Amino acid sequence: MAVSYFAMTLVDSVPILFVISALNGIAWGFWPILNSVPFYLPGIRTREVAVGLSMVMTLASLGTVLGPSLVGILQEQIGDLGSALRIVSFAPLALIVTGTLLHIRTDLEPDPPPAN
């Protein structure tokens, strides 16, 4: 994704931009999987999944709101919109860093069996 975002800032041809945008859309194919995996994790209750997914959606919305402001601030400091967009295009790489720093909890107890 970071590569496709970066490539979009370098392209002047509209057909090539459409191709890169299509590849970027394909790269976002993980999103439905990301939203469905928590339901299958052992020891995670449904309400915990709802809280986790709402947190993810809230942070995604926060990024949507703050992204243009960050690009605008960078553009004013650097003086070039293209450079500001190229810098911000690498923000998805933060997912790799946070993903490697997460620890998998193994101390969770499984859900009790349903009462009859």
Q: Is residue 15 part of a domain?
A: no
Q: Chain-wide mean pLDDT for the chain?
A: 85
Q: Is residue 12 part of a domain?
A: no
Q: What pLDDT was estimated at residue 26? A: 93
Q: Is residue 45 part of a domain?
A: yes
Give the total number of structural domains in the chain.
1
Owning domain of residue 81: 31-101
Q: Is residue 43 part of a domain?
A: yes
Q: Is residue 75 part of a domain?
A: yes
Q: Is residue 18 part of a domain?
A: no
Top-confidence residue, 76 or 33: 76
Q: Is residue 108 part of a domain?
A: no
Q: Is residue 107 part of a domain?
A: no
Q: What pLDDT was estimated at residue 98? A: 81
Distances (CA, A) of 105 to 37, 47, 76, 83, 101: 16, 18, 43, 40, 13
In this structure, of 44-48, 71-75, 77-81, the range with the lowest mean pLDDT score is: 44-48
Q: What pLDDT was estimated at residue 110? A: 65
Top-confidence residue, 56 or 81: 81
Q: What pLDDT was estimated at residue 34? A: 78
Q: What pLDDT was estimated at residue 87? A: 92
